[in-house]
Amino acid sequence: MTLVDVCSGAGGLALGLEQAGFRPILLLDRWDLACDTLRLNRPNWKVLKDDLLTFDPADYTDTYDVDLLSAGLPRVKASATVGRVRGSDAELQLLQATVLLVHAIRPRCLLVENLADLVTKPTYESIRSYMEEELDHLGYGHQWFVIDAADFGVPQERKQGILVAFQGDGITRFRIPNPVPPEERTTVGRVLYPSMASRGWRGAAAWADQADQLAPTLVGGSMDRGGPDLGPSGTKRAWARMGVFGGSLANEPPTEEFHWDPTRGRAGMVRLTVPQTALLQSFPTSWQFAGRKTSQYRQIGHATPPPVGRALGNSIRDALTQTSDAR
């Protein structure tokens, strides 16, 4: 099945959809480093550096009538949606541009991933109504729902708002992905222990035992300012309870000499590395990220964990296959 993926970022959603059997026809992102990351890992993918707001599919007619259009869009701010559905807010414009792209390429299915509040909060009612009206006009049945990445084997509590829409009555055949069985769930300590112990740190096992829990949601922060850290103050406090300093990232895991003692504050806590944050997003260890440390972490923090993309892709593929069989 064929796929067009927009606002592709580091490729987490596209990678998961590829694992579910979708073949990317085109991936689009406006950030140079994100495009470099995609090309670095999948030289055979057709990657276009362009802005979704100016992208014209008429120049890429192979995108017409694809099976799936997917969009892992930047998080829409609540202030952007109050009492209106049009305005200058970039994130809101990208949502609108995605709906307009459905007009142009007529995919069999649309998948949009965003923050959970877009699905659940009254503040976002105007944008939900706008998208629903447009999709109804185009003949697409739709469904909103929220999933948590932890339910799909990601060692992180990460709730995501999802919109799926199918041409015709395909939505009646779609089923929200089922969570993985308990034995397939995992935690920060279990996922990061091998890396933490890789340079001989003798406290790695003790640290992993008390970090046997889910990570708070990783956030990439602003794309153009600030350094790499693990998020706002509440998130940093959650990391501190696992003995992790969340104010910056390390270049390497701890050495044999490191003395882990969180009562000493920053000096006694471990710091995560960029590859470790990629593990917390469930990227394969072979997946490389272009750029320097801060840029790499921003790509990782903004990504959709690939297992979430795979689970959604499997459910979408099943619905599309049933639709094809019915014909």
Residue 100: give its domain's CATH number: 3.40.50.150
pLDDT at 82 over 70: no
Q: Are residues 140 and 213 in the same domain?
A: no
Q: Per-residue pLDDT averaged across 101-107, rounded? A: 96
Which of 12, 136, 125 minimizes the C-alpha distance to 70? 12
At 87 the pLDDT is 47
Q: Are residues 245 and 315 in the same domain?
A: no
Q: Per-residue pLDDT averaged across 231-260, rounded? A: 94
Is the C-alpha dihedral spanning 227, 230, 231, 236 positive or negative? negative
Residue 252: domain span: 183-301
Give the CA distances from residue 157 to residues 154, 193, 215, 234, 319, in Å, rounded to whole numbers and listed in that order. 8, 19, 6, 14, 27
Asked if residues 94 and 80 have their Cβ atoms less than 8 Å apart, the reply is: no
Q: Are residues 189 and 320 in the same domain?
A: no
Query: Which comes out higher in pLDDT, residue 51 or 89?
Result: 51
With 0-12 / 13-18 / 19 or more C-beta atoms within 10 angstroms meaning exposed / middle / buried, residue 281 is buried
In this structure, which amino acid lies at residue 174? Answer: F
Q: Are residues 147 and 295 in the same domain?
A: no
Asked if residues 148 and 303 have their Cβ atoms less than 8 Å apart, the reply is: no
- Counting residues of the chain whose pLDDT is more than 90, the rounded percentage is 84
Q: Are residues 192 and 255 in the same domain?
A: yes
Q: Are residues 191 and 141 in the same domain?
A: no
pLDDT in tens, 313-326: 999 999 999 866 65
Q: Are residues 172 and 310 in the same domain?
A: yes
Q: Per-residue pLDDT averaged across 27-49, rounded? A: 97
Neighbours of 307 (CB within 10 A): 23
DSSP 39-79: HHH-TTS-EEE--TTT--GGG-GGGTT-SEEEEEPPPPPGG
Q: Are residues 148 and 259 in the same domain?
A: no
- Number of domains making up the chain: 2
At 202 the pLDDT is 94
Q: Are residues 17 and 111 in the same domain?
A: yes
Q: Are residues 28 and 145 in the same domain?
A: yes
Which of 27, 35, 127 minimizes the C-alpha distance to 72? 27
Q: Per-residue pLDDT averaged across 222-251, rounded? A: 86
Q: Are residues 226 and 259 in the same domain?
A: yes
The answer to which of 78-92, 165-179, 189-203, 308-322 has the lowest mean pLDDT is: 78-92
Q: Per-residue pLDDT averaged across 206-229, rounded? A: 82
Give the CA distances from residue 13 to residues 5, 9, 125, 165, in Å, rounded to whole numbers and listed in that order. 8, 9, 25, 17
Q: Are residues 108 and 17 in the same domain?
A: yes
The model's pTM: 0.93
Asked if residues 241 and 210 have their Cβ atoms less than 8 Å apart, the reply is: no
The residues near 180 (Cβ < 8 Å, ≥ 6 apart) are: 151, 152, 153
